[in-house]
């Protein structure tokens, strides 16, 4: 599924307040409600607006959407990024060895069941590496703070030796229904029970460590192995390293967003590397050999006689790796012939003579 622009659907800006979003939704819903708007496609539009509000109307879902796009809510596209799975199972803290395989799908959908079970949030971590590190495929250790199951109550949120009781407001359903009459007809709104917050239970003696949430903040170090040739815009997924779920919900994932710094020496175009090399007028005219710095060392560039400025010299397979492949892009040197600015009198004389000789040719 394509990444949807929910802001555009509601006609609000990305930094609109929750209140503005609510207002925009109401007016758009009034306009496109199929009972009012008989134009074809209005039902579809109404559905889309609803979908947009489901996400943007909820600050937590909105934040998730801002980070991961609508792909984060369905099984479709992942929002234009290339994902790599950096291993499953967060139980194995040291085991994030290599990239296992490419991850094509989007993030799993968030689920909130009536029992209050909720999947943990996905987390984002931004990391910057140099071009040389991207070439080598460096391993980096990062420290993240995420929510894990409380070590005292093991995630139940209940003090040891006590249990929860059924919520009397919703009779354990976790939801309350309210019917509202509007000019468009009666709407029954089902909402989370405000007394038990959807859990259907009341925790009268919450765990003193996590205050009944079942989760606590914890820091962890994780090793992230970047594949050779990685580029800005890639994100690496560490399965299960996001926030822990609530009441048995699945943990979220950690997404490490890669930014490769621009190099002062090389310009990158995919797997190809470009480098500008200044040579003197004499080197260009007479031909010469110059040393150039490559991503993994040095190379000798043979400049043929009569080389013009802008000439390109290609070193095959001396660029970056194609990710997941042994193949490499090319390294291309673009030569720039420098016209001398300050000349000695002797050099001036020689050049004048050179000019005169040219005329006679």
Burial environment of residue 111 by CB neighbours within 10 A (0 to 12, 13 to 18, 19 or more): exposed
Of the residues 10, 153, 258, 337, which one makes contact with Zn ion according to CB under 5 A: 153
147 binds Zn ion (CB under 5 A): no
Ligand-binding annotation for 185, yes or no, is no
Which C-beta is closer to Zn ion: that of 27 or that of 205?
205
189 to 208, contacts with Zn ion by CB under 5 A?
193, 195-196, 207
Which C-beta is closer to Zn ion: that of 207 or that of 226?
207
On whether the CB atoms of residues 242 and 122 are closer than 8 A, the answer is yes
| Beta carbon of residue 110, minimum distance to Zn ion (angstroms, whole number) | 21
Ligand-binding annotation for 196, yes or no, is yes
State the distance between the two ends of the chain, measured CA to CA, in whole angstroms. Answer: 69
| Beta carbon of residue 179, minimum distance to Zn ion (angstroms, whole number) | 18
Ligand-binding annotation for 150, yes or no, is yes
Alpha carbons 329 and 139: distance in angstroms, whole number: 22
Query: Vertex 201, ends 195 and 204: CA angle to 5°?
Result: 80
Alpha carbons 359 and 361: distance in angstroms, whole number: 5
Ligand-binding annotation for 262, yes or no, is no
Ligand-binding annotation for 153, yes or no, is yes
16 binds Zn ion (CB under 5 A): no
| Beta carbon of residue 199, minimum distance to Zn ion (angstroms, whole number) | 7
| Beta carbon of residue 160, minimum distance to Zn ion (angstroms, whole number) | 9
User: Where does this chain touch Zn ion (CB under 5 A) — which range of 39-47, 187-195, 228-236, 341-349?
Assistant: 187-195
> Strand 288-294 vs strand 272-280: parallel, antiparallel, or unpaired?
unpaired
Q: Which residues contact 137 (CB under 8 A, 6 or more apart)?
A: 225, 226, 227, 228, 229, 230, 321
- State the binding site for Zn(2+): 150, 153, 167, 170, 193, 196, 207, 210
* Site residues (vs Zn ion, CB under 5 A): 150, 152-153, 167, 169-170, 193, 195-196, 207, 209-210
């Amino acid at each position: 599924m394509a990444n949807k622009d929910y802001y555009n659907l509601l006609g609000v800006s990305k930094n609109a307040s929750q209140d503005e979003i609510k207002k925009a939704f109401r007016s758009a819903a009034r306009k496109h409600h199929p009972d009012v708007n008989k134009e074809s496609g209005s039902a579809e539009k109404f559905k889309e607006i609803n979908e947009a509000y489901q996400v943007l109307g909820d600050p937590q879902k909105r934040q998730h959407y801002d980070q991961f796009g609508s792909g984060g809510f369905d099984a479709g596209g992942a929002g234009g990024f290339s994902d790599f799975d950096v291993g499953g199972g967060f139980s194995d803290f040291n085991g994030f060895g290599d990239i296992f395989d490419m991850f094509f799908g989007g993030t799993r959908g968030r689920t909130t069941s009536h029992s209050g079970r909720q999947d943990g949030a996905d987390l984002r971590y931004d990391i910057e590496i140099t071009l040389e590190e991207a070439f080598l495929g460096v391993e980096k250790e990062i420290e993240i703070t995420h929510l894990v199951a409380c070590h005292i109550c093991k995630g139940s949120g209940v003090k040891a030796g006590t249990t929860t009781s059924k919520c009397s407001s919703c009779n354990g359903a976790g939801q309350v229904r309210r019917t509202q009459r509007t000019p468009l007809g009666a709407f029954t709104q089902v909402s989370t029970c405000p007394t038990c917050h959807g859990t259907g239970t009341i925790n009268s003696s919450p765990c003193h460590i996590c205050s009944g949430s079942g989760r606590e903040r914890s820091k962890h170090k994780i090793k992230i192995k970047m594949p050779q040739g990685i580029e800005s815009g890639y994100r690496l997924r560490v399965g299960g390293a996001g926030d822990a779920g609530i009441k048995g919900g699945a943990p979220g994932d950690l997404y490490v967003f890669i930014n490769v710094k621009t190099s002062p020496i090389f310009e990158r175009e995919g797997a190809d590397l470009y480098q500008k090399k200044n040579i003197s007028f004499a080197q260009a005219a007479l031909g010469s050999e110059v040393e150039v710095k490559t991503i993994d060392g040095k190379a000798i560039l043979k400049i043929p006689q009569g080389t013009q400025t802008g000439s390109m010299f290609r070193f095959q397979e001396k660029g970056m790796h194609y990710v997941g492949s042994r193949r490499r892009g090319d390294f291309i040197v673009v030569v720039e012939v420098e016209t001398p600015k300050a000349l000695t009198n002797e050099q001036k004389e020689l050049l004048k003579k050179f000019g005169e000789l040219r005329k006679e040719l």
